[in-house]
Every structure is written in C-alpha cells, then in structure tokens.
Chain A
Amino acid sequence: MGNSNTAAAPAPAAVNSDRGWRALFAQLLRTRHGSLGAGILIVMALVALMAGMIAPFDPLQQTQTSLSPPTAEYLFGTDNIGRDVFSQVVYGARSSLFVGLGAALAALLVGGTIGILAGYFQGPVEAVLMRVVELFQTLPVIILVLCAVALFGSNFWLLIAAVALAIWPMEARLVYGQYIKLRDREFIAAARVADLSTAHIMFREILPNAIQPVIVQVALDASIAILIEAGLGFLGLSDPDMVSWGRLLFVAQDYMDSAWWMSLFPGAAICLAVVGLNLFADGLNEVIDPRSGGATGGLQ
C-alpha cells in the first residue's frame, strides 16, 4: 500500500486510449446507469429516425375528434384541433433530439476551439479568452438566448446557434482544463522535440486522452440544450414549422383544464430524453473516474 498521503483508494488505471473504443463501450454497458442511458437513447434515436413508420397519423393533420382523451386509436389523445398527440410526440423527437445534439456539438466546436486556443497560446491570449468565457458564463444566458431568438427570429438553425450560445462556456472551460492537464506532460515535449506540427500535436496526442470527459460533457450539454429548446418552444419562440415537444406544451398551456394528456405526454418525452442522456453521462463518468460512484469515501 505504501505511503498514501490521503485516504483515497489506489484508483485503477484510467481507461487508456490504448484499450480502444470497443472496450470502453463494453465497460459502459456493464454499469447500470450506462446501459440504461444508452438503451433509452437508442430507442429514442430509432423513434426519431423511423417516425414516419411509427406514427399512425401525420402530426399536423387535423381531424374532427378534437380534445379526445387517450383511446385505442389516439394513444395519447388529440389536441384542440384534432391532431394526434402520439404522432406529434413521435415526430417531436426529431426536432428535439436534433436541436439538442446539434447545439451540444456546436457548443463543443466553438467552446472547444476557444479552449484549445487559450491553452495552446497561453499568455495574454489565454487571459483574454478565459475572461470572455467567464463573461458568458455569468450572464443569465437563458435570457440572452430568449433575446436573440426574439430579435432575430426562430429559424431552425438560428435556434441551434442560440442554444449553443448558452452552453459553449462549459465546453470551453472543460476543454481548456483538459488541455492544461496534458500540456505539460512528457509526450507533448517529446512530440515537440520530434518537430511535429502544431496540429499534429493537438489532434493526435492530446485528443484521445482528453476526449473522454468531453463526451460526458457533450451528453450533459445535449440534455441541457433539449431543456432550453423545450423552454423556447413553450414560450412560443421555436420554429413554428417544426413539431417540437416544447411547442406542444405551449399549446397545452391553454387547455390545462380540459386536456391533461396534451401536457403529460410531451413533457414525459422531454423528461425521458434528459434522463437518458444524463444516465449515459453518469455511466461514462463511472467508467473513466471510478471514484465518482462511491459514497462514504472515508466514513465508516
């Protein structure tokens, strides 16, 4: 056991990129959280992709049976103008998941680039960039997002950009932190000595090791993005041409007293997507940092 300074158990070696992605995934599935989360996500992705085959009705199709509670024909009931809620929820998966993942990836792109740049160039560049990150993090970004959408419209791509605006600081911080951690390691120095180009160092040496917590953060960001997008939809600010869960809740707001199913099912869908992403992130976190799972570190 040797001279342990703290009470922490000797942590098993963190997953190395040598072990490969397949091993990582296999380990993930062995954790309860990871497998449950991955399962939910896969189901949702399938639903979104095969919406056309799963949904019995066209989501925008108005029928005569308006405000009908759930029946065999209309599994989730119908809304105020007779649209089938089940079909709407199924199709809603597309836009919500797309915006969620899209915004998370956009945030990764922007935030990650800024994080790497700050870490690589150091000095004044680093200071300025991190101040900007801090600026965006302390502002009430939901409000900024609202503002942006309100002023510039709710076009689909603008929506993704607006949501990404809210979450990129977290990515930047994380990537920056990861970079800093690895920046002083020997293999960077070795690569420098071997006179490899900047890009090479950044992508081949740093990326595989740094990427794991980043994936966790992307999953978490996607869940936040879905919640933000739902919020925007709820306020009536999402793209009116797209069926989105948030927007369904917006419509449901006026019918709380007569049609509980209009609110229950879209909301549950949002919840499920967010839970799935968070479980996935938790599972992944457990794999790469085993200490995060256990309670009672030193207390017995």
Chain B
Amino acid sequence: MTAQPILLDVRDLKVHLRVGPVLVKAIDGVDFQVRHGECVGIVGESGSGKSTMARAVTRLMPNVAIGELSGDLKFEGRDILAMPDRELRSLRRGRGFSMIFQDPLGYLNPTQRIGRQIEEALSRDDAAGSDKARVHALLDEVGLPDPVNLARRYPHELSGGQRQRVMIAIALASGPQLLFADEPTTALDATVQLQVLQTLYRLHRERNMAMAIITHDLGVVAELCDRVYVMRGGKVIETADTVSLFEAPRHDYSRRLIELSARHHNQEARA
C-alpha cells in the first residue's frame, strides 16, 4: 500500500487529570499518526487511556479537572490544541473529523427526531439537494431501511444497532476525512456487532475516509484496521500493522490481549 500523506499527527501527547487530590496520568507521552484513507486501531483494556486519547485529540473532553493537556497535535498540518474555538467548530462541521460513541442511547437526544439530529450535523457548504434529501441519503448509506419514516422516529423507538447506525450517519453528515469510533460495537448484541463493523468497513472504503477505532476487542481490529497501537497505562507499548501484530506480537501484554480476544470470540461463536 502506498504511503498516503499523514492526516493526523500526534506527538508527545500528555493528558493529566485531577481526580480529587490525585493527579492521574491518563496519557503520558503518546505518539501516533493516521494517514489519509487508512484505518488505525487503538487497543487496550479499561484504564489504558485509549478513550481519553480520542477525546483529547478531538477536544471533546468532558468538564473534568484537567491538570495538563499538552503535546503536538496536527490535523492536516494545523495545530489542534492552539486552534481557536471558531476554527475548531468549522473543522467539525466540514471536512474535518467526527466521532461516534459507545452508548448510542445516551448520546442521542431523546426528545429530538432522528432526522433532525442528522440534519443538525450537515455540512454547510453548497452541497447538492435539500437537507431532507441529504438526510435520507445518509440513512440509506449507513444501511437503514425506509429512511423517510425512520427520520421521523425518536431514538428510543429504534434498536441498539439502528441507533449506532444513526450515530454513524450523524458523524458522516459533515463529510469528515477522519472518523473516530470509541468502542463502536461494545454495547451491541453479538450478531449486530458484525453487521455494524461491516458497514463501517464499507463506508471506510467507499468514502476513502480514514478511521481511528478505539476498542478493547482485537476481533474488531482484525476486521477493520490496517495498523494497530497497543496502549497500556497511558503509553503506547507496541505498534505494528495488523497482520504483523497478530502473527508475532512483540510484547507479552499484546499477546495476552490477542489470546483473550480469541477466547472471547470462540465462546460467543459457540453460544
């Protein structure tokens, strides 16, 4: 695969959080890159810092007491951390990056119709078609049937898998170059998981859109990602392309993760 130019370049990222009297080094000097059109996996167990990484890079941290947030973050050569709010927002609204989350029910507004929520995310450039048409097209693109009716529904009327697809539609609405997915399938049933993953892969290919998948499940990584970063305790302990990692993991920890994942998937297959 020819090396595409680097889209997201993160160097020496540090995120220290203040939890009560303690300073937690959630991320302690991490480097990672995502190139145009590639799919990168960030794996680790709970507390490894992987989720924090996605949130920090996209500047979507919740209002926790941040002790330190530093590093060299560049998206298309632009400094993300120093970026003023307005610029950041326009980046999110078009051709920048988007994010989907683990808990689609909590992350969708329960009092707003699906269509409206997607519409809100549409990029404002002169795109073809009315807003409604674009919303329907997006719903269709993520594999949801009967978009016209679905757009009028509320989140609680949909199944978990459908909600996650809606989240993806929202993320795609702005035409991002990079999609972050924070545990995209963890909250879903096993059968639905695979379908959503396949949808993600298809979108990745069709749109030539880079993806950064954060997960604890190496099975997901195996499905989608070209390269993997393994995180532990706020640091990246190993990085390789997917095939190499699975065939010859250099770290014991990575090996354990792979084994755990395999066992988990075997159990599920048997169930």
A3 touches B63 (CB 8 A): no
Q: Which residues of B contact A (CB under 8 A)?
A: 17, 19-20, 26, 46-49, 51-52, 61-65, 102-103, 106, 182-183, 186, 216
B47 partner residues in chain A, CB cutoff 8 A: 1-2
Minimal beta-carbon separation of A28 from chain B (angstroms)? 16
Which segment, of A83-91, A120-128, A292-300, faces chain B? A292-300
Q: In the complex, which of the residues B20, B52, B216 contacts A1, with contact meaning CB atoms closer than 8 Å?
A: B52
Within 8 A of B (CB), among A1-49: 1-10, 12
Place the interface of chain A in its size category: 10 to 19
Q: Point out the residues of chain A lying under 8 angstroms from B182, CB to CB.
A: 3
Residues A3 and B52 in contact in the complex (CB < 8 Å), given A9-B64, A296-B63, A300-B63: no
Can you name the residue of chain B whose Cβ is closest to the Cβ of A7? Answer: B62
- Encode A260-300 as 1/0 by CB contact (under 8 A) with B: 00000000000000000000000000000000001011111
B19 cross-chain contacts in A, Cβ below 8 A: 9-10, 12
Shortest Cβ-Cβ A-B pairs, 3 listed? A2-B46, A7-B62, A1-B52
- Give Cα A7–Cα B216 distance, bound, in whole angstroms: 19
Inter-chain contacts of B186 with A (CB < 8 A): 3
Q: How far is the CA of A5 from the CA of B102 in the complex (A)?
A: 7
Decide if B62 touches A1 in the complex (CB within 8 Å): no
Alpha-carbon distance A9/B183, docked complex (angstroms): 18
User: Could you tell me the distance between the alpha carbons of A297 and B63 in the complex, rounded to whole angstroms?
Assistant: 5
Cβ contact within 8 Å between A1 and B106: no
Report the separation of the CA atoms of residues A30 and B216 in the bound assembly, to the nearest whole angstrom.
41
Residues of B within 8 A of A296 (CB): 63
Q: In the complex, what distance in Å separates the CA atom of A3 from the CA atom of B186?
A: 10
Partner of B51, one of A4, A12, A294, A299: A4
Alpha-carbon gap, A9 to B67, bound state (A): 14
- Cα distance A101–B17 in the bound complex, in angstroms: 42
Q: Which of A1, A6, A9, A10 lies in contact with B63, CB distance below 8 A? A: A9
18 CB-based A-B contacts, threshold 8 Å: A1-B17, A1-B51, A1-B52, A3-B51, A3-B102, A3-B182, A3-B186, A4-B51, A5-B102, A5-B103, A5-B106, A8-B62, A9-B19, A9-B63, A294-B63, A296-B63, A298-B63, A299-B63
CA distance A297 to B62 in the complex (A): 7
Additional 4 contacts, C-beta under 8 A, given A297-B62, A298-B63: A1-B47, A3-B183, A5-B103, A9-B63
Asked whether A3 lies within 8 Å of B62 as measured between CB atoms, the reply is: no
Considering only CB atoms, which chain A residue lies closest to B24 in the complex?
A1
**Which residues on B sit within 8 Å (CB–CB) of A298?**
62-63
B103 and A6: CB pair below 8 A?
yes
Distance to closest chain B CB from A183 (angstroms): 26
A6 contact set on B, CB distance < 8 A: 103, 106
Q: How far is the CB of A5 from chain B (nearest CB, A)?
A: 4
Kindly report which residue of chain B lies nearest to residue A8, judged by CB atoms: B62
Inter-subunit contact A12/B52 (CB<8 Å): no
Q: Which residues of B contact A299 (CB under 8 A)?
A: 63
Chain B residues positioned under 8 Å from A5 (CB to CB) = 102-103, 106
The answer on a CB contact under 8 Å between A1 and B103 is: no
In the assembly, what is the distance between CA of A12 and CA of B17, in Å?
A: 13
Q: Given A9-B63, A294-B63, is A3 in contact with B46 using a C-beta cutoff of 8 Å?
A: yes
CB-nearest residue of chain A to B186 = A3
Complex-state Cα separation, A3 to B106, whole angstroms: 14
Residues of chain A with a CB closer than 8 A to B17's CB: 1
